[in-house]
């Protein structure tokens, strides 16, 4: 986590001086490495600290911090750019990264963590047990990344002047679901909840090609938000509970495949969109959602 924070600080400062194209690309890659370090380490630390009785609820609250950042970040960033300039934006980001670095230094290493570190030497960087939830996260992020990349243009073509409203309702539903979702996952059958969430995402994707008004798009945003709100806490819990002492490699495997889906999805769907049309692209996303549902049932739900 400390290394991730430091890379974040250095990257934000390097944006101020890096010229395009290759130097800027290298800075961006270092920035991504910092994000990977921090995200994987923070999830692993969380897995070791949380009491089992409240695990789902507390992980949902942790995911809520991401939702708040993604909801407020673009707005505040554009506010800084429009009011001041890009240099101030990068300096503010570097300052926030320094705050994270300071808070990370304040975290104390527990005895159980130290003893775990002695027992995991020689383990692989990958965890086979984390592959099923990682594949599910990969397909979810293929869908999410594609919608985030191409929905704004689709909405503009259908007369919606501000596609950002879609993402506002999506973020609001995600945050509400994360607040309530942890308790639901702690109380009810998690596999049934996840089956419902995967199904509602498929239904939302089926409706999307026929939507032609802002109200329709808002409904779809709330359906997608409801589905995603519960899925990532469940997948994270599943990785934690089945990893044993391999929590670091397990979370690394999970986050690596999830991030791959976020990057690969828009690239593949962009090719489909260029060669065909939006309905064909949505059809591919629906197919991905259906495959994901059946894979979840085969790999996780039908097992005890």
Band (281; pLDDT cuts 50, 70, 90): very high
Residue 299 is given by DSSP the state I
Cβ-proximal residues to 24 (8 Å cutoff; 6+ apart), any chain = 15, 18
114 and 258 share one domain:
no
pLDDT averaged over every residue in the chain: 83
Q: Which of 283, 295, 301 is nearest to 202 (CA)?
A: 283
The CA distance from 43 to 60, in Å, is: 12
The CA distance from 152 to 72, in Å, is: 18
Total tally of structural domains belonging to the chain: 2
Residue 161 is given by DSSP the state S
Q: Are 63 and 233 in contact (CB under 8 A)?
A: yes
Residues, the chain: 304
178 and 234 share one domain:
yes
The answer to whether the peptide bond before residue 76 is cis (omega within 30 degrees of 0) is no
Task: Enter the tokens of residue 248.
Answer: 């670091």
279 and 142 share one domain:
yes
182 and 297 share one domain:
yes
115 and 136 share one domain:
no
pTM of the model: 0.78
Task: Enter the tokens of residue 280.
Answer: 């064909």
137 and 229 share one domain:
yes
Band (297; pLDDT cuts 50, 70, 90): very high
42 and 105 share one domain:
yes
What integer pLDDT is reported at residue 109 of this predicted model? 61
What integer pLDDT is reported at residue 181 of this predicted model? 67
Is residue 196 assigned to a domain? yes
Q: What is the pLDDT of residues 85-129, one digit of tens each?
A: 889 999 999 999 999 999 888 876 655 554 455 555 555 666 777
Q: What is the pLDDT of residues 120-157, one digit of tens each?
A: 555 566 677 788 999 999 999 999 989 988 888 888 88
The CATH number given to whatever domain includes residue 160 is: 1.20.1250.20
Range of the domain at 271: 129-301
Q: Are 177 and 222 in contact (CB under 8 A)?
A: no
149 and 276 share one domain:
yes
97 and 181 share one domain:
no
CA atoms within 13 A on the CB side of 303: 8
How far apart, in Å, are the Cα atoms of 204 and each of 197, 217, 269? 11, 10, 18
42 and 112 share one domain:
yes
The CA distance from 208 to 227, in Å, is: 15
């Amino acid at each position: 986590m400390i290394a991730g924070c430091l890379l974040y600080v250095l990257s934000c400062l390097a944006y101020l001086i890096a010229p395009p194209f290759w130097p800027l690309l290298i800075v961006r890659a270092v920035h991504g490495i910092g994000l990977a370090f921090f995200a994987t380490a923070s999830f692993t630390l969380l897995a070791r600290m949380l009491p089992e009785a409240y695990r789902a609820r507390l992980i949902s609250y942790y995911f809520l911090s991401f939702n708040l950042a993604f909801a407020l970040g673009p707005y505040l960033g554009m506010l800084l750019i429009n009011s001041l300039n890009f240099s101030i934006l990068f300096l503010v980001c570097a300052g926030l990264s320094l705050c994270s670095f300071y808070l990370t230094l304040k975290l104390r290493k527990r005895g159980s963590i130290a003893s775990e570190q002695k027992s995991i030497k020689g383990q692989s960087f990958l965890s086979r047990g984390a592959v099923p939830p990682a594949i599910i996260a990969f397909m979810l992020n293929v869908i999410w990344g594609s919608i985030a990349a191409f929905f704004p243009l689709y909405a503009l073509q259908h007369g919606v002047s501000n596609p950002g409203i879609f993402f506002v309702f999506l973020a609001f539903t995600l945050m509400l679901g994360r607040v309530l979702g942890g308790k639901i996952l702690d109380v009810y059958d998690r596999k049934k909840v996840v089956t419902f969430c995967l199904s509602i995402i498929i239904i939302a994707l089926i409706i999307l090609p026929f939507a032609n008004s802002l109200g329709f798009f808002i409904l779809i945003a709330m359906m997608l938000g409801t589905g995603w709100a519960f899925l990532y806490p469940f997948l994270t819990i599943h990785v934690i509970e089945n990893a044993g002492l391999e929590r670091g490699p397990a979370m690394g495997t999970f986050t690596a495949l999830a991030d791959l889906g976020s990057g690969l999805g828009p690239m593949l769907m962009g090719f489909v969109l260029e060669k065909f049309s939006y309905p064909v692209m949505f059809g591919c996303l629906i197919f991905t959602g259906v495959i994901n549902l059946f894979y979840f049932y085969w790999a996780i739900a039908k097992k005890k």
